[in-house]
Structure formats: C-alpha cells, structure tokens
Chain A
Amino acid sequence: MTSTIPAVTPKPTRPSDLQDERLLNRSGVRGVIAGFIDRVRSGDLGVLPVVIGLVVIWTVMQLLNRGFLSAANLVNLLMESSATGIIALGIVGVLLVAQIDLSVGSVSGLSSAILGILFVTSGVNVWIAVILAMLTGTLIGFVYGQIFNRLGVPSFVITLAGLLSFLGLQLFVLKGQGTINLPFDSPLVWFAQLAFVPAWLSYVFVLLAAGTFFAVGFAKARSRKAAGLSTAPLQLIGIQSVTLAVGLGIVTWYLNVARGIGWMFMLFVALVLVMHYMLTRTKWGRSVYAVGGNVEAARRAGINVRWVYTSVFMACSTLAAVGGILAASRLAAVSQSSGGGDVNLNAIAAAVIGGTSLFGGRGTAFAALLGIIVIMSISSGLTLLNLDSSFRFMVTGLVLLLAVALDSVSRRSRTSHGRA
C-alpha cells in the first residue's frame, strides 16, 4: 500500500499500540490489576459474579451441612454436572448468536431412547448405537437451522415445537418398553460410573495445563514483542501459571482423597476447552460473536450468516444428544422420563448463570462449566439437607433470576461506560 501521508514516527520507548497520549500509562503486574478493577467498575464483570456466587453458596451449604464440602460429595457433584454441563455448552453457543434452544432436554431424551433401543433391544454394536444417537442430534439441529433460515420462524417457537415433538417421538420409540436397563458391563456405564483418572495421571494433567498456559502466554508475548506491540509482563504469565498449577493441584489432591476425577468430567472439560478454542481463536468463533452482536453487519462483512446459525444449532443439538447418552449411562437406564424434568431448564440456566448474555454476543465456553457447578451445588446441598425438589426448583429459579438481573444491570452499566 503506497501512501503519501507520512507515518507517525514511532517513539522507540513505547510499543506501537500504546502511543496515543490519551492512554493511561499502565505497565507491569500492577497495571494489569488496575485494568481489571476498571473493567469490573464499568460493568464488564466477566466470571466474577459467578465465582462470588459459588463461594457464597458453598459457604452457606457447608454451614448447613458438614458433609457438603467433603471430597466424596464434590467428586459426585462433578460427575453429576458433566452430562447437563455438556448440554449447557451447546446452549452457550446458541445464546451467543442471540437465539435459544428450548428442546435440548427432549433431544437428549430422544438420543438416549435411540441408544437404548439400538444397543439393548436390537443388539447393535454400542459405538454404532452411540454414533447414530449423536447423529440424530446433529440432524435435528440441521433441521432447526434450515427452518430458521428459510422460513424465518423465531428459534423460540421452532425449538418449543421441537420440545413437544421430540418428547412425543421419544415416547413413541419407547412404546411398550417401560425402562430399558443398560448392562453394567457395557463401556458406557463403566465410563459414566466407574472410570476415574488415576492419581498420578491427574497430576500430570495439572502440570500439562499450567505448562500449556505458560507456553501459550510466552509464545504470544514473544511474537507481540517481535511485532513491536505491547506485551503482558513475563512475571505475570509466570505468576498466573504457578497459581493455576497450585490451584488445580490442590483441587486434584482433595478430589483424590475420595475417588478422584471422573473421566466423564474430563470429557466435559475437554469439550469446554475445544469450544473455547473454537470461539476465541477461529474465524467461525468470530462470526458467532459478530452474528450475536450485529447480524446485519456480519452479513455485510461477507459472513455466511445462515451457516453460522445452522452450525450453532447443529452443535447444540449434537451436544444435547451427547449429554443424553451420558445421563443415560450414568443412570444405567433409559426410560420415558429420560431428559425430562429439570434437564432443559438446568442446562439453559447454567449457561445464563455462567455469564452468557441472553442478548447475544457475550459469554464464554467456561460459562457452561461454572454455571452447571453452581446449579449442581444448590441441588446437591439441598438434597443433603433432605429438602425435596420443590425447594431445589425455587432456589434455582431465584439464582437464575439473579443472574439475568445482573446481566441486565451490568449491560446498562457497560453501555454507559461504552463497553457494550
């Protein structure tokens, strides 16, 4: 690009992205902390509310019942979180494009019913049955996407119709079957109930996580420096990595006091990390945020908006099917009530409580992880207190309302502070 305009002469003392005199000159670890406080004040809360909420809930539950924070209960809590958490992960994607999927519960129930019929009743190979059940979810998402794109029916209505239809289909598929028990020696039940990460391997994972975090941060800092841009201070990356290693190490040690970390929970975490990468580091992820922020702008930027919607619906329904398969495996049974009850609302509430905005364009994959732990903590704590589901629904409902209210208030604050 040739230009007759003289380029601004870069001052060698400051990185090329920090040359504007209006920028507050902040550097080092202290600058990062000051920046964080600024962000929170202006309403860009990130995961802060959910972390505070989790601390409050855990404190209250522990005060009410000494057994709540026991290693055994926490191990169980994580296992219980996995299936619904995976469903919530799909919901995060759909919420990011400012749509909703109300049918994830029915889709998960239908996929578990298909799994049960194929695997147990018809004797199909277990992996083929799993793949077919998952593909059912993918197909449902594809159909949602087509109806949404071509007919322009609001996703709220499409998926509400889906909720009813697929519940009906599930009942039809299971007609006259009652409850199908999955055999205890099948790999599915083993995976969902008995498979735990060996203690030594869990620490290897911790070191791997911290090491990867440091390596990525270091590589980013180096390439930014080479390009003359500002970098995060190296000691900050070091401190963060060490904190991560110590924090995860303590959690892992505590969980290893009991049975340890289930492979099913590891699968959930792995899916969250994959989703996080997809959303933040790929073109597709940018398109998702863009469509959620301003769909017309995304269309004019040449983004295939239809494909973004379809892909998000497909991912959501597929993850719902996976969640259904895991939930059935954990119960070792498929019945007409699989995927019913509170699965739907828990999954949606988890995504929202975790900090995904209902207005679209804001949220991260970690919302599903944090949100489902909040919901399952409430559920587990109230169960330990021998309170029945009536209380669980009321408390979860209030927490959901609180989370959405916080989202709306912080959105207003963000607007007034120009952070949208």
Chain B
Amino acid sequence: MSQVITEPQGVRTNILSLRGVSKNFGAVAALTDIHLDVAAGEVVAIVGDNGAGKSTLVKILSGVHLPDAGTITFEDKDVTIPDPTSALDLGIATVFQDLALCDNLNVIDNLFLGRELRPHRLDEVAMETRSWELLRQLSAKIPSVRVPIASLSGGQRQTVAIARSLLGNPKVIILDEPTAALGVAQTAEVLNLVERLRERGLGVIMISHNMADVQAVADRVVVLRLGRNNGEFNVGEVTPEEMIAAITGATDNAVTRRTANIDLRARAELSGDPALNSAASDSASQGSATNEGTRS
C-alpha cells in the first residue's frame, strides 16, 4: 500500500492529527496504522469502499470506540477520547449518518439535548433564542422550532443535526455521509452549509461515497482501503478515476473491469465473435472470485 502523507504546507497548523491509529475487532483489523491531519478552515473528505474503516475512524474520533494503538493529537496535545462527552468537551463534534435525533422532541430540545441551560429549572426562553440565532447563522429554513423533529424533511433534519454539533463551539466537526439520503436541492443546501462551516474556521471531516460532492467542497481527499491509508490527494489535482483506483486498490477493479467488459461486448457484437463474449464473462467471474479472496 502506498502512503502519501503530505507535509503541512506553509503556516497551516493541524488542529487534529492521528498517527498510527489501529483498531481490532477480535481477529479483524478494522484500522491499521492510520494517519490523518485536519487543519482549521479545511474540509477533508474521507472516502473508501464499504468495509474500508471509515465508520470505525469516525467512532474513534467521536469517543464511541477507543483505539488499540496510536496517538491522537488535538491542538498540539496528546489526548484520549474515552467517551462521547469527552469528544464534545475537546471540541470534536460528530453528525452521525442516522443523525441521532429524537423524533418525539422538538427542535429546541434536540439542539440542547444533554446540554440544557439551567438543569434544575430549564431556561426555555434562552434556549429558544439561541436556537434561532444558530439556525439563522446557517441560513436554515425551518419554519418553527417548537415542532417535533418528526415533522421535518430530511434536509431540515440534517441542518438541525449540524446546528446541534455547532452548539458547543467545536473546532472540528465530523459529518458522516451528510448527503446520503438527500435530494438534489437538499444536497446543495448541505454542501453550502459545509462551506459555511469552513468559512467559520472549523476543521471539517466529511465522509462520503459521492465523488461529485467530494470534488465540490473538499480541499483534500484521504482514501482508506481495507483499514489502511491508501492515498491522499489535493482535490484540484486529482481525477475521479484516480480516486476510484485508490479506493478499489488497483487499476484492475470492478469499475475498470466493468468498463472493459462493456468494451469487449461491444467489440464482440460488432465482430460477431462468440469467443470474445465468453472471455468477457470469464474475466468478470474471475475478477469477483479474486476480489472475494482478498476480502476474507
């Protein structure tokens, strides 16, 4: 596996650095020797196939799992993140893919969940005022903050989840597939939101499967494959094909094979040669066999 670790350029200082982070689940090495840097005002996209270790990495950073090895440096200090609360206290906020909102509570309650003002006599007025401030800063389009989350659309929920993560004034915000369940317009809204976060000087880690989204907002792309770093690119200098090659591990992968197969079939149809046609399906089945071999 090739590892390209870009040195910090110019005066850029990393808020969050991971060095040699590993995590095993029983006999499975979910993450091996992971390196990651995030600077203030930078959007880092983490891409990778299913099972590449993206979610495990998010869980380590958000305090759900403890790493087995490696160091996490936050603002030049070595830290451990034993639980979600300490991640929040450090200034690392996470927006999970399933958003983790309570449907039965309203927007204010969800925004302040676990961080209510005045625990023994809730300050509802202050919380509502603060909620509106926050939502307006994000140009959120939410008609009322006193409605249950259940009545909001997917994009609005995503906005509430992101707004909630901003409440503790975090320095790094992790978005786990923020656009996965969204429509075209809502995706654009969320991408705008990501840019606003960057403008506010936050370090943003964005997990995504969508190359278009990554190229639209990310500054840097970190590729994970089978639990290891498999390349790091500046977005301006990389083509989607190169990213896919890094994600799938080689130039010989399902995507290129598929393209090749289509070419072969097209040629077979043109020439009317059945041998070429069977060769195409052979290579496809062989490819999937070796692929499974490397996975297990």
A contact set with B: CB distance below 8 Å: 1-5, 7-8, 16-18, 20, 22-23, 220, 223-224, 227-229, 281-284, 286-287, 289-290, 292-294, 296-303, 361-362, 414-415, 417-420
Please name the residue on chain B nearest to A418 by beta carbon.
B151
Which chain A positions have C-beta within 8 A of B147?
419
What count of chain B residues pass the 8 Å CB interface test? 51
Q: Which of B113, B132, B146 neighbours the largest number of chain A CB atoms within 10 Å of its CB? A: B113
**Could you say which residues of chain B place their CB within 8 Å of the CB of A1?**
133, 137, 169
* CB proximity of B262 to chain A, nearest CB, Å: 43
Say if the beta carbon of B1 comes within 8 Å of chain A: no
The listed residue (B85, B98, B139, B142) touching A20 by CB distance below 8 A is B142
Tell me if B109 is interfacial: C-beta within 8 Å of chain A. Answer: yes
CB-CB contacts below 8 Å: B105-140 with A: 105, 109, 113-116, 119-122, 124-126, 128-129, 132-133, 136-139
A interface footprint on B275-294 (CB within 8 Å = 1, 0 otherwise): 00000000000000000000
Q: CA separation between A227 and B64, bound complex, in Å? A: 38
B148 at the A interface (CB under 8 A): yes
Please give, as numbers and ranges, the residues of chain B lying within 8 Å of A228 by CB-CB distance. Answer: 129
Contact A296 B136, beta carbon cutoff 8 Å: no
Bound Cα distance from A220 to B121, whole angstroms: 13
**With A20-B143, A419-B148 known to touch, is A300 a contact of B100 (CB < 8 Å)?**
yes
A-contact 0/1 string along B62-87, CB 8 Å cutoff: 10100000000000000000001100
Chain B residues with CB under 8 A of A22: 143
B65 shortest CB reach to chain A, Å: 13
Q: Which of A299, A300, A415 contacts B150 (CB 8 A)?
A: A415
Residues in chain B within 8 A of chain A (CB atoms):
62, 64, 84-85, 88, 94, 96, 98-105, 109, 113-116, 119-122, 124-126, 128-129, 132-133, 136-139, 141-152, 169, 196, 199-200
Is A283 a contact of B122 with CB atoms below 8 Å? yes
| Beta-carbon contact of B125 and A224 below 8 Å | yes
Contact of A297 among B94, B100, B196, B199 (CB under 8 A): B100
Q: Which residues of B contact A361 (CB under 8 A)?
A: 102, 104
Could you say which residues of chain A place their CB within 8 Å of the CB of B200?
A: 2-4
A301 to B113, CA, bound (A): 6
A417 cross-chain contacts in B, Cβ below 8 A = 151
Report how far A284 CA is from B98 CA in the complex, Å.
Answer: 24
**Contact pick for A298, options B85, B102, B120, B149, CB 8 Å:** B102
Find out whether the CB atom of A286 lies under 8 angstroms from the CB atom of B144: no
CB distance from B111 to the nearest CB of A (A): 10
A17 touching B132 in the complex, CB below 8 Å, given contacts A1-B137, A301-B114, A302-B84? yes
28 A-B pairs (CB sep. < 8 Å): A7-B137, A8-B139, A17-B132, A20-B141, A20-B144, A229-B128, A229-B129, A281-B121, A282-B119, A282-B121, A283-B120, A286-B105, A286-B109, A286-B113, A286-B122, A290-B102, A290-B105, A293-B102, A293-B105, A294-B103, A297-B100, A301-B115, A361-B102, A361-B104, A415-B150, A419-B147, A419-B150, A420-B150
